[in-house]
Chains A and B, each alone.
Chain A
Amino acid sequence: QVQLVQSGDEVKKPGASVKVSCKTSGYTFTSYGVSWLRQAPGQGLEWLGWISGYSGDTNYAQRLQDRVTMTTDTATSTAFMELRSLKSDDTAVYYCARAGYDVLTGYTFDFWGPGSLVTVSS
């Protein structure tokens, strides 16, 4: 069965960086992309970006593209999301999701990881 296992919760100071991992299993990693999304306390879901499991091509959300980097390790079927220059409003639960892409339908997030809480506090 498809599974996405994320790294543990993190506490970071403002200005620091965080790197969250998402180890996938149960499907062919290179046949899908992985998207990262987040939910800040009391807020809705926000899409952060997408990376192709096949080519490593990325598509980042415009408002974060200067601070976020997504990478993959196809040998371990793992995706990574690094967010730099952290601010207090980056405090959120970060999710990875398997993301099929079709030019007609966009991204379909059909399996999700359990989430990793990133807290930014001085």
Chain B
Amino acid sequence: QSMLTQPPSASGTPGQRVTISCSGSSSNIGGNYVFWYQHLPGTAPKLLIHTNNKRPSGVPDRFSGSKSGTSASLSINGLRSEDEASYYCAAWEDSLRGPVFGGGTKVTVL
């Protein structure tokens, strides 16, 4: 069972806004930065958001991250067919001295 909790699925039509939640505790999200990764089947995962809300070069500004207390969220504005993928949140876990991941949220574009 993951230490970070994500909904297993989310969906939207093209152009819609989709928001994915990630719930943790004071020992991970509450005291550390949050990262988001995008994973398409058969490909290498891709860093989408780092340090809560920063986008690496090349990531469209349709993707945004936020954090409040022990929860974080990833929003995709203007949903596109190529956004159909699984999205994972991650944060450092103090008790394990390493990062933990959420179980992943599969986004479907209807």
Q: Which residues of A contact B (CB under 8 A)?
A: 43-47, 49-50, 59, 61-62, 95, 97, 104-115
Binding site of B, secondary structure by majority: helix, strand, loop or mixed?
Answer: strand
Assuming A45-B37, A95-B45, A115-B44, is B96 touching A107 (CB within 8 A)?
A: no
> Is B56's CB under 8 angstroms from A107's CB?
no
> Is B102's CB under 8 angstroms from A62's CB?
no
Q: Which chain A residues border B51 with CB–CB below 8 Å?
A: 105, 108
Q: Which residues of B contact A (CB under 8 A)?
A: 2, 32-33, 35, 37, 39, 43-47, 50-51, 56, 88, 90-92, 96-104
> Is B98's CB under 8 angstroms from A108's CB?
no
Q: Which chain A residues border B104 with CB–CB below 8 Å?
A: 44-45
Q: Provide the bound-state CA to CA distance between A61 and B88, in Å.
A: 19
